[in-house]
Every structure is written in structure tokens, then in C-alpha cells.
Amino acid sequence: LAGTRHAARARVSPATAAEAGVADGEPLAVTGPAGTVELPLEITDMPDRVVWLPLNSAGSGVASDTGARPGSLVRIGPAPRAAAPKEVEA
């Protein structure tokens, strides 16, 4: 069964994604009381202002990394983009 599992993703409604400024497939930063995780976003038909997180997904660490539980308030937004590597003369 482990070979058939899907990658961990966060899910939100189209309106919530637009409000957060994140498009389908882009990394979404989810911050709870214990910290932040970044997951690819999947936009799906669900209630607005609700975030679905894979709290029991093997190896994801979402529950421990965010401290989020069902019903917890979290903050969401675009994940910070990594800066492009800089050229350095050596």
C-alpha cells in the first residue's frame, strides 16, 4: 500500500486560494501554533476559509510540524520563494 500513496498536499477552495494568492500546484505555507509547513496546493470544491491537511499521512509530519489539529486556526499564504543563486568570484 505504501507504494500507492499520493504525495501530501494541502487542499482549499478556489475562493480561499485566490484570497491567499496561491495557484493550484504552487507551494502553500501553512502556519499553526508550533510552526510552518509547505505543501503543494490542490484547489478543490470545499467550503471557503477551510484548509484540509494530511494530518495522518505517513512521513508528512504536518501535525507535529504545525501543531494543527482538526478545527485549529492556521494562517496560509504563498510559500517564500528561494532566492536565485548568486554568482561569486572565487
For the residues 49-66, what does the mean pLDDT come to? 83
pLDDT tens per residue, range 63-75: 888 898 899 999 9
Query: How many domains is the chain partitioned into structurally?
Result: 1
Q: Is residue 79 part of a domain?
A: no
Q: Is residue 62 part of a domain?
A: yes
Q: Is residue 72 part of a domain?
A: no
List the CATH number of the domain containing 61: 2.40.40.20
Q: Is residue 57 part of a domain?
A: yes
This prediction has a pTM of 0.80
What secondary structure does DSSP assign to 12-74, as a single string?
E-HHHHHHHT--TTSEEEEEETTEEEEEEEEE-SS-TT--B--TT-TTT-HHHHH---TT---
Q: Is residue 77 part of a domain?
A: no
Of 62 and 52, the structure prediction assigns the larger pLDDT to 52
Q: Is residue 25 part of a domain?
A: yes
pLDDT tens per residue, range 6-49: 678 999 999 999 999 999 999 999 999 999 999 999 999 999 99
- Collapsing DSSP to helix, strand or coil, 78 comes out as strand
Q: Is residue 53 part of a domain?
A: yes
Domain that holds residue 34: 2-67
